[in-house]
Structure 1
Amino acid sequence: MKEYRHYIHQVGTMKSLLEGHLESEVTIAELLRYGDYGFGT
């Protein structure tokens, strides 16, 4: 039987945005290594 593993990769920006920071700690290239589907708030 095939084993399925599910992962969620979360990058927090809300606190940074509220504090006025606009730079991300993770690059888009790094995130794309995990897939190209996402959702935001």
Structure 2
Amino acid sequence: MESMFDGENGKRLMEATSAFCQHQQHALDILRQRTLHISTS
């Protein structure tokens, strides 16, 4: 399992994780806005 984080595989995993974390707050904000919009309609 440790080999999954070595070399090119590790680099791709770190980049994917970074992108996910970077956009997570934005996605949560959009979901909150939609929920508020639906509950006030």
Structure with higher RCO (Cα < 8 A, 6+ apart): 1
Q: Same fold (TM over 0.5)?
A: no
TM-score by length of 2: 0.22
TM-score by length of 1: 0.22
Larger radius of gyration: 2
